[in-house]
Structure 1
Amino acid sequence: MKAIKVMGTIDEHGQLTLDHPLIKDKNSRVEVIVLIPEAAETDELESSKKEIVEDFRQAWHEAMTGQTIPVAQLWEGLEDV
């Protein structure tokens, strides 16, 4: 048996809809294991996404306004680590 990881959504009728169709092994029986995140995990993921987007916006702003340093300077002092 092989495993394929896909994401999907459970609708109000309890029906599972995959985000993308499975391309291999059409017309085959499958075993489905559904992992449903706990509310705390979902909140952590949303917080993480928000932080990533905010960090990107900050970095983009700094890049566009010339608030950058040379890459070579980033490596200074890291040779001994």
Structure 2
Amino acid sequence: MKALKVMGTIDDRGQLTLDRPLVTDKNSRVEVIVLIPEEADPDDKSQTEVLGDFRQAWHEAMTGQTIPVSQLWEGLEDG
């Protein structure tokens, strides 16, 4: 048995649509295992959001818009 990994979407009728066609023998019988995440973490960011945050941080670092680490701790030590 050969394994292929491909992503897809389950629509509102419960039908599975693959993101790309499978490159294999046509008219073959297959076994499908569907892995569904437990729950999406609301704190998880998309790759686009993470990349945007990184670009912003990199820009701030390169243009000197930084705060010394010692200043970050001010006010937290007493709390």
Q: Report the TM-score range of the alignment, normalised by the length of the smaller protein.
A: 0.5 to 0.7
Matches of 1:15 and 1:23 in 2, distance apart?
20
| Residue 47, structure 1, aligned to residue 25, structure 2 | no
The number of aligned residues is: 62
Matches of 1:37 and 1:9 in 2, distance apart?
12
Tell me the residue number matched to 2:11: 11
Report the TM-score when normalising by structure 1.
Answer: 0.60
Matches of 2:20 and 2:37 in 1, distance apart?
20
Gaps of 5+ in 1: 68-81
Pairwise CA distance, 1:56: 3.5
Report the TM-score when normalising by structure 2.
Answer: 0.61
Over the matched positions of the two proteins, sequence identity in percent amounts to: 60
Gaps of 5+ in 2: 65-79
Q: Which has the larger radius of gyration?
A: 2
